[in-house]
Amino acid sequence: MNIGEAARLSGVSAKMVRHYEALGLLPRVVRSASGYRQYGQAEVHTLRFIRRARELGFSMAEIADLLRLWQNRERASADVKRIAKAHIADLDRRIAEMSGMRRTLENLVHCCHGDARPQCPILDGLADAAAAPATAATTAHGNVPR
């Protein structure tokens, strides 16, 4: 099947199919006499695996590791679990950062009257954070803990 059909069956765009091939996540495929890539069910299955891993937020490096383990029948499930647990820890860290951002923004929104007055605590809070030098008390996203 051609790249368009493989993309449709896997739920991945043709551009991403090429990208995954360039990254080495998808092995180079046979080309027809006219130079078109030819895909089979194995490649579609691999593309679906990659798509699902991306949906779960795994990085390309993690996906490469997971693909190697998936394709290795001698793998140890402990290796797969280690990658998944590290990813969960990263997700937890990102959720905590976003929760802090949300709390800061909720506080600014609560302080804003949202009326015709020009004073706006939201803009003031953004300007204050922009004027302050980055410190250890500032989070990765520029939030000052309150």
Query: 120-146: per-residue pLDDT in tens?
Result: 999 998 898 877 776 544 544 455 444
Q: Which two structure tokens, joined as six digits, stand for 80?
A: 């797969």
Full DSSP string of 52-96: HHHHTT--HHHHHHHHHHHH-TT--HHHHHHHHHHHHHHHHHHHH
Q: Give the tens place of pLDDT for each residue, 25-80.
A: 999 898 999 989 999 999 999 999 999 999 999 999 999 999 999 999 999 999 99
| Domain limits for position 20 | 3-56
Burial of 19 (0-12, 13-18, 19+ CB in 10 A): middle
The model carries a pTM of 0.76
Residue 62 near residue 83, CB atoms below 8 Å: yes
Total count of domains within the chain:
2
Whether 49 is covered by a domain: the verdict is yes
Task: Determine the average pLDDT of the residues in 2-29.
Answer: 96
Whether 126 is covered by a domain: the verdict is yes
From CA 88, how far away is CA 93, in angstroms rounded?
9
* pLDDT band at 22; cut points 50, 70, 90: very high
pLDDT at 131: 76
Whether 92 is covered by a domain: the verdict is no
